[in-house]
Amino acid sequence: MRTPGAAIALSDVTRRFALKGSRDGVLALDRVTLDVQPGEFVALLGPSGCGKSTLLRMTAGLDEPSTGRVRVGGESPAAIAARQGFGVAFQDHALLPWLSVRDNIALPYRVAGRRVDSARIASLIALVKLTGFEEAFPRALSGGMRQRVNIARALVLEPAVLLLDEPFGALDAVTRRHMNLELQRIWTETRTTTLLVTHAVEEALFLADRVVVMTGRPGRVAQDLAVPFPRPRPVEVMREPEFHRLSDGLVAALEPEDAAP
């Protein structure tokens, strides 16, 4: 899909990785075209190895396409990254164990050589509901609390784009569902353009404005689904017949083309 003014625009992107003993290497992504509009939340679904995380890395300027083009707000990802325009959160929260919650969230300011905005940090701590834990170290926090710190740190420099790679993948099912509710609440308040990589169909359908399903390697866009549920979405939406119908359709879209009936 091509749309003018896209916050993220991937145009006919291909990514091939070198492989020892192979002349052609491995084709991970094949002619992917995808737009994300300003303030939109898009989830990428697909089987392991389909190139979801590679797309995220290319959007962040951490990798480059073999062919095609990636633009963020009309600029190269490298230009956006150079002025700390991305917020990134991965499954591994990567909090520094010797820093408190406040200091972990403040870290991007120090890395960027910018003055620490204490008021901004305090507002984010309140936003992720960690007031009272400002001086706590990561070892004293639950998995869900660590990921809240991770998300607050990703948002602290007010990024143009938030990139999430399986941020709740290591959490138990109950905590993960709670964090889905928390992320929806946080995103509703910030409306940051967001690209989420996940393996969880229900998570994608609950959180996103659009769910993009990718094929197995080489990754291609197989389906682009506009999610019809109004926001804010209560957890009860997951029990609605339409939610189950769409979820079943997404699961079917993830099945290999040669899967047995």
Residue-wise pLDDT for 187-239, tens only, equals: 999 999 999 999 999 999 999 999 999 998 899 999 999 999 999 999 999 99
Q: Is residue 151 part of a domain?
A: yes
The total number of structural domains that make up the chain:
1
Distance of alpha carbon 218 from alpha carbon 236, whole angstroms:
36
| pLDDT tens-digit series, residues 4-55 | 578 999 999 999 988 776 777 889 999 999 999 999 999 999 988 888 999 9
Distance of alpha carbon 122 from alpha carbon 116, whole angstroms:
11
Q: Is residue 252 part of a domain?
A: no
Q: Is residue 18 part of a domain?
A: no
Using the CB atoms, write b or e for 100-123: b if 16+ within 10 Å.
Answer: bbbbbbbebbeeeeeebeeebbee
pLDDT of residue 1: 46
Q: Is residue 247 part of a domain?
A: no
| pLDDT tens-digit series, residues 145-175 | 999 999 999 999 999 999 999 988 878 888 8
The domain in which residue 97 lies consists of 86-158
Q: Is residue 147 part of a domain?
A: yes
Q: Is residue 250 part of a domain?
A: no
Q: Is residue 164 part of a domain?
A: no
CA contacts within 13 A on the Cβ side of 116:
13
Give pTM, 2 decimals.
Answer: 0.90
Distance of alpha carbon 135 from alpha carbon 103, whole angstroms:
8
Name residues whose C-beta falls within 8 Å of residue 59's C-beta, 6 or more positions apart in sequence. Answer: 8, 10, 70, 72, 77, 161, 163, 195
Q: Is residue 127 part of a domain?
A: yes
Average pLDDT over residues 86-103: 89
Overall residue count recorded for the chain in this entry: 261
Name residues whose C-beta falls within 8 Å of residue 123's C-beta, 6 or more positions apart in sequence. Answer: none
